[in-house]
Amino acid sequence: MIAVYPGTFDPITNGHFEIIRRASTLFETLVVAVASSPEKSPLFDINERLNMVNEVLNAFSNIEVKKYSGLTINFAKQSDAHVIVRGLRSPADGQYEFELASMNKRLADDIETIFLSSGDQNAFISSSLIRQIAQEGGDITGFVHPVVQSALIKKYGK
């Protein structure tokens, strides 16, 4: 069975990695879908994000990394996926994620959404928080892969 784990991954964090690692054990193929998301004004362009995600996930044999734009549900259909994987960091994420899953179910009744909760050590990690810490010269060791840490240091010059 094919599943899709979508996100902007600007940048990919250890929280994302945890969800990806766990989801990769549940599905024959996991497509990590990197959204172009121009409305979010990402720090890294789509190719930089694709390269980072590929480097972080290169040890997995059942993961494909692809870029996409538009509706996630349409990308899932094009990928022949039957499941969309979403990560939950806290109960606060739940309301938005439930609304999104409900809308996706209305748009494609044959695609399910499953939620994986973050472990305690990653529940507070978000890409925006990591970018903010890196921008201010803070230590992000332990929150992101070394490849991502180097890219953030290069981007911010700190």
Active site residues: 16, 40, 89, 127
Contact 50, 67 (CB under 8 A): yes
CA–CA separation, 35 vs 104, rounded Å?
A: 16
DSSP state, residue 132: H
Contact 17, 56 (CB under 8 A): yes
| Residue tagged 């991954």 (tokens) | 9
What are the tokens at 152?
């953030």
Sequence-ordered list of residues with C-beta below 8 angstroms from that of 86, at least 6 positions apart, any chain: 5, 97, 100, 101, 113, 114, 115, 116
What are the tokens at 43?
């720090």
What are the tokens at 82?
């039957």
